[in-house]
């Protein structure tokens, strides 16, 4: 059963939808789920993916909510006029404090003390950045096609931060910082970063030195779109087979550091991605740099083929539900055994 709900907190007026659990499974009733806006999209998500996901979680016995952040969907508030600016601000943590405030308020009102937090793209970003501030309430993160890159040249404020490097074996976060620095050491970008005016670089030539340019080309998400398929396949194979432990210089360093720390703390995380797309290649670079050769069992990655960023093609929505069902059933800390026995199976969809 769905119901429209409103909340008022110091940071704004919230309008959302609650999905009451369809079963009263012990353990599941003690766990709630909060799904965040997919970037600038309203709480329904693209193709109503968030609605269907919330219904699926409620069918598993989890009380689930979808609230619009202030300024999005039905919730009043101010947002930047340009979508690009808004998303860069989301990447910089625009909704972290409101998210923590909302989750704390929901926990107090519902009495639920264990939460799964998540969303697609911008919702996944906010979930990771907010997690350290509400760690005691979280039992897991649901990340749907997480974007670990940064939009260039948007007025979102600085997001790169200095990292505290320790002694001894480096953590995943420290390896990520080192990897970003390594790629930034490319002569062309080093000159630009240092303000070296001895050489002038045309903007087109600057883009040729950036890994993001070639990832976008290989995945068909750049300006050339679907052109030059043969060359795109070759570039894609080169990127996928690269053994260089480096992240693109436009990687979101604070986001990656926070993700690494959560993985090292063995926070249960499900990361669902559109395989072979730009965001997947970026995230795969993070996995290779930070977590290999041994990825913790608590960090589960599901890569779905033949679909898009919003999982609205290729029958991927059913595969998303199946992945969530499997995660809930097989994670040792999300729900107890009694609750897992009542989780409905999602329709099997090839992906």
* 182 burial type by CB count under 10 A (0-12 exposed, 13-18 middle, 19+ buried): middle
- Average pLDDT value for residue range 306-329: 91
Phi, psi (5° rounding) for residue 32? -115, 170
Angle formed at CA 147 by CA 142 and CA 151, multiple of 5 degrees = 150
Q: Which of 23-37, 144-158, 277-291 has the lowest mean pLDDT?
A: 144-158
What six digits make up the tokens of 56? 């699926």
Q: Contact, 26 vs 339, CB < 8 A?
A: yes
Dist. CA 335–CA 62, nearest whole Å = 10
Paired residues of 31 in beta bridges: 114
Got the DSSP string for 114-183? EEEEEEETHHHHHHHHHGGGSGGGEEEEEEES---B--SS-SS----------SSSPPHHHHHHHHHHHH
How sure is the predictor about 196, in pLDDT bands with cuts at 50, 70 and 90? very low
Angle between helices 278-290 and 172-184 (to 10 degrees): 120
Which position has the token pair 């619009």? 68
Q: Which pTM does this prediction carry?
A: 0.76
Question: 57-83 pLDDT, tens per residue?
Answer: 999 889 999 999 999 999 999 999 888
Contact 61, 25 (CB under 8 A): yes
Cis amide leading into 212 (omega within 30):
no
Mind giving me the DSSP string for 17-81?
EEE--SS--TTGGGEEEEEPP-TTS-TT-GGGHHHHHHHHHHHTT-EEEEEEPTTSTTS-----S
Percent of the chain with pLDDT over 70: 65
Q: Which domains does the chain have, with CATH numbers?
A: 2-156+251-340 (3.40.50.1820), 172-241 (no CATH)
* Residue whose structure tokens are 């950036």: 210
CA distances from 225 to 29, 145, 314 (A): 47, 20, 19
Task: Pick the more confident residue, 104 or 342.
Answer: 104
> Is residue 350 a contact partner of residue 306, using CB atoms and an 8 Å limit?
no
Mean pLDDT of 177-187: 45
Average pLDDT over residues 108-115: 94
| Range name among 5-9, 159-163, 256-260 with the lowest pLDDT average | 159-163
The answer to whether the beta carbons of residues 65 and 5 sit under 8 Å apart is yes
Find the range with the poorest average confidence among 39-53, 82-96, 194-208, 282-296. 194-208
In the beta sheet, which residues pair with residue 32?
63, 115
3-state secondary structure of 227: coil
């Amino acid at each position: 059963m769905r119901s429209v709900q409103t909340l008022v907190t110091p940071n704004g007026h919230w309008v959302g939808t609650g999905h009451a659990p369809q079963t009263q499974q012990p353990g599941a009733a003690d766990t709630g789920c909060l799904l965040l806006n997919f970037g600038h999209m309203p709480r329904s998500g693209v193709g109503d993916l968030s609605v269907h996901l919330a219904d699926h979680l409620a069918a598993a016995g989890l009380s689930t909510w979808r609230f619009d952040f202030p300024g999005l969907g039905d919730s009043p508030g101010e947002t930047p006029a340009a979508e690009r600016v808004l998303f860069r601000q989301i990447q910089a943590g625009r909704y972290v404090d409101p998210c923590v405030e909302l989750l704390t308020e929901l926990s107090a009102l519902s009495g639920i003390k264990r939460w799964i937090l998540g969303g697609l793209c911008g919702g996944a970003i906010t979930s990771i950045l907010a997690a350290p501030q509400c760690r005691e309430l979280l039992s897991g993160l649901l990340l749907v096609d997480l974007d670990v890159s940064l939009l260039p040249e948007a007025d979102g404020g600085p997001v790169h931060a200095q990292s505290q490097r320790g002694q001894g074996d480096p953590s995943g976060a420290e390896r990520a910082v080192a990897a970003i620095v390594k790629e930034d050491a490319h002569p062309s970008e080093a000159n630009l970063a240092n303000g070296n005016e001895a050489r002038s670089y045309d903007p087109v030539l600057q883009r040729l030195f950036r890994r993001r340019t070639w990832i976008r080309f290989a995945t068909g998400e750049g300006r050339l779109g679907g052109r030059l398929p043969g060359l795109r396949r070759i570039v894609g194979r080169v990127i996928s087979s690269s053994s260089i432990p480096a992240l693109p210089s436009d990687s979101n360093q604070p986001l990656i550091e926070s993700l690494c720390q959560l993985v090292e703390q063995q926070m249960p995380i499900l990361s669902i991605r559109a395989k072979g797309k730009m965001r997947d290649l970026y995230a795969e670079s993070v996995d290779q740099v930070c977590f290999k050769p041994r990825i913790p069992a608590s960090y589960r990655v599901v890569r779905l083929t033949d679909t898009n960023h919003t999982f609205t093609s290729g029958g991927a929505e059913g595969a998303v539900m199946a992945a969530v069902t499997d995660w809930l059933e097989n994670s040792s800390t999300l729900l107890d055994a009694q609750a897992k026995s009542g989780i409905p199976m999602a329709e099997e969809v090839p992906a």
